[in-house]
Structures are given as structure tokens and as C-alpha cells.
């Protein structure tokens, strides 16, 4: 985890310098509904590291959403819309996700989403569950899933850095690793918790065409990055953007993150 934490620090430093909005060169039809997908990692009473959001700050986020007329929708609802299988979600919709499976997701996040009765999707790498000291147990995950508020999806089996592994391994060994990471995570989660696992959060936000093709072949219908923009029908279903939420995202900054970029508003006229 120390090594992973160092990588996250470097990643966070880059992400926080990026503007909120659609990536340069990406176009969206005026009729496209775009939705922010938020991703948290761990909560706590104090900021222990760059990926920790204070529990009080997370509570303030949920209060802001309720007070300002936002609707937290299930991630699957948004995917159905982007795939063209469902009508647009309500205006001012938001999706909440949490990656990795840290125990604070059960002790701190779960009570709050239960109080507000909002849906959340967890992306889990199963190798840590009931093994690593920082992680939840299978019993805790099952309790969350049984609540009806929590959907559990894949974050690979042990959260590898595919970019580094591709350089380190031979072609065949790398392909074998990718296949195992995507297949075993899906199989273990389905066997342990039931349900259907067909969504994948790319570890460290790393993906490429080869990884996407493999994931599709193995039954995944959607993948998620940590690019800082709203998600809509103009996006690749296998590389949907999410906002990495840190403890600094509070108050007006949280509101700014949620707001639809003005140039994407259906009533905004295009510049000549």
C-alpha cells in the first residue's frame, strides 16, 4: 500500500492541475445529458493521506446534494442511458462510486449513504478483502450489498499498474496477467456475493485499446477512468470519466465540480 500510495500522490498532483470540464477536442451534441461520476477511496476523522476524505466532508457533500436539488442515481442507470437503452436521467443527476474496498467504506461511508438512502457502486479488488488490514471483510461487503443501496463491481484482482507490467513482462506473460486480473476478479466477486459483475474501474485510470478489447471479450460492458469531466453519450463506454474526490473538494469547489460546464448547456448557443 505504501508503494500504491506514492503513485496516487503523483497521480493526484497531476489531476488537481487539470480543468473541470470536457477534455479538449471532445464534442457533445446539445441534446446530450452529461452527469458527474464521483469517486472516493477512503474516509476518516482526519486526513491521513492524499486519498482520505474526512467523514465530515463526505457528509457535507451529501447534504449539499440534497439541499441543492441533486439526484444520486445508480451507476447502472447512467450506463443504460449512455448505451442508448434508457431515457436521459433526471436533470442535476450525480453518480457516487468508491474504489478499492477500504474498511472505512463500511464504517464511515455506509452509515451515511444509509441515512440519505442513496445508491453507491463499489469497485473492489478481491485479493485484499478479508486479507489486508486496511480492507473490508466479505461479511461487510455482503451486508452492504444486501442493503439494496450498494452495487459491487470489479477493480481487477489485485490492482496492478498495467503500464509498468507491460514493460516488465513478455508479451504472452502480460496477456496472461491481464486475462487473470479481469477474469478472476469477476469470478470471485460473483461467487462470493452473487449478482452480475460487468463493470470495471481501471487501476490508476490506466487503459488502452488492447485492454479495452480484452475487457469486452471477457464480458465487461463499461469501464471507468479518473479523467476530470462529466460523462455522456459522446464518451467511450469502456473509458468513462470520473472525478477523483479529495478532501480539498469542499463548499463552493464541490459545487463547481458538479455544475455542468456552461458550453455544454442545451440552451447555450455555439460560437460561429
How far is 87 from 69, CA to CA, in rounded Å? 20
Contact between 70 and 258 under an 8 Å Cβ cutoff? The reply is yes
Helices (H), the chain: 2-15, 55-67, 75-82, 103-104, 110-116, 138-146, 162-168, 171-193, 209-217, 251-258
Question: Residue 269 domain-assigned?
Answer: no
**What is the CATH classification number for the domain harbouring 183?**
3.20.20.370
Give the pairing type, strands 37-40 and 93-100.
Answer: parallel
Question: Residue 24 domain-assigned?
Answer: no
Contact between 151 and 96 under an 8 Å Cβ cutoff? The reply is no
171's grid cell: 508479451
Question: Residue 265 domain-assigned?
Answer: no
Question: Residue 211 domain-assigned?
Answer: yes
Domains identified in the chain, total number? 1
Question: Residue 189 domain-assigned?
Answer: yes
pLDDT of residue 260: 64
Question: Residue 26 domain-assigned?
Answer: no
Give the pairing type, strands 37-40 and 243-244.
Answer: parallel
Q: Which structural domain, as residue segments, surrounds residue 241?
A: 2-19+34-260
Question: Residue 268 domain-assigned?
Answer: no
Question: Residue 242 domain-assigned?
Answer: yes
The residue length of the chain stands at 272
Angle at Cα 39 formed by Cα 20 and Cα 187, nearest 5°?
140
177's grid cell: 496477467
Instruction: Tell me the pLDDT of the chain (272 aa) as tens digits.
Output: 444 444 444 444 434 433 333 332 333 344 689 999 999 999 999 999 999 999 999 999 999 999 999 999 999 999 999 999 999 999 999 999 999 999 999 999 999 999 999 999 999 999 999 999 999 999 999 999 999 999 999 999 999 999 999 999 999 999 999 999 999 999 999 999 999 999 999 999 999 999 999 999 999 999 999 999 999 999 999 999 999 999 999 999 999 999 966 444 443 333 32
pLDDT of residue 4: 44
* pLDDT tens, position by position, 13-27: 434 433 333 332 333
Angle in degrees, 0-180, between the axes of helices 251-258 and 55-67, rounded to the nearest 10: 50
How far is 69 from 61, CA to CA, in rounded Å? 12
* pLDDT tens, position by position, 110-169: 999 999 999 999 999 999 999 999 999 999 999 999 999 999 999 999 999 999 999 999
Full-model pTM: 0.85
Alpha-carbon distances, residue 167 vs 61, 173, 178 (angstroms): 40, 11, 13
Amino acid at each position: 500500500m505504501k508503494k500504491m500510495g506514492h503513485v496516487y500522490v503523483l497521480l493526484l498532483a497531476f489531476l488537481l492541475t487539470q480543468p473541470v470540464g470536457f477534455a479538449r477536442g471532445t464534442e457533445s451534441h446539445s441534446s446530450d445529458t452529461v452527469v458527474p461520476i464521483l469517486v472516493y477511496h477512503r474516509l476518516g476523522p482526519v486526513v491521513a493521506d492524499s486519498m482520505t476524505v474526512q467523514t465530515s466532508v463526505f457528509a457535507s457533500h451529501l447534504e449539499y446534494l440534497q439541499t441543492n436539488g441533486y439526484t444520486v442515481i445508480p451507476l447502472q442507470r447512467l450506463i443504460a442511458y449512455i448505451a442508448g437503452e434508457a431515457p436521459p436521467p433526471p436533470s442535476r443527476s450525480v453518480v457516487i462510486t468508491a474504489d478499492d474496498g477500504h474498511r472505512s467504506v463500511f464504517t464511515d461511508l455506509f452509515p451515511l449513504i444509509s441515512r440519505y438512502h442513496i445508491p453507491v457502486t463499489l469497485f473492489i479488488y478481491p485479493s485484499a478483502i478479508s486479507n489486508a488490514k486496511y480492507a473490508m471483510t466479505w461479511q461487510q461487503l455482503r451486508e452492504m450489498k444486501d442493503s439494496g443501496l450498494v452495487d459491487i463491481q470489479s477493480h481487477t484482482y489485485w490492482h496492478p499498474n498495467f503500464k509498468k507490467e507491460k514493460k516488465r513482462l513478455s508479451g504472452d506473460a502480460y496477456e496472461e496477467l491481464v486475462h487473470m486480473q479481469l477474469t478472476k476478479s469477476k469470478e470471485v466477486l460473483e461467487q462470493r456475493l452473487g449478482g452480475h459483475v460487468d463493470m470495471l474501474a481501471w487501476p490508476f485510470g490506466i487503459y488502452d485499446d488492447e485492454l479495452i478489447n480484452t475487457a469486452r471479450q471477457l464480458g465487461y460492458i463499461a469501464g471507468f477512468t479518473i479523467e476530470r469531466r462529466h460523462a455522456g453519450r459522446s464518451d467511450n463506454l469502456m473509458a468513462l470519466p470520473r472525478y477523483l474526490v479529495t478532501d480539498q473538494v469542499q463548499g463552493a469547489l464541490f459545487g463547481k465540480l458538479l455544475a455542468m460546464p456552461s458550453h455544454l448547456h442545451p440552451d447555450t448557443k455555439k460560437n460561429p
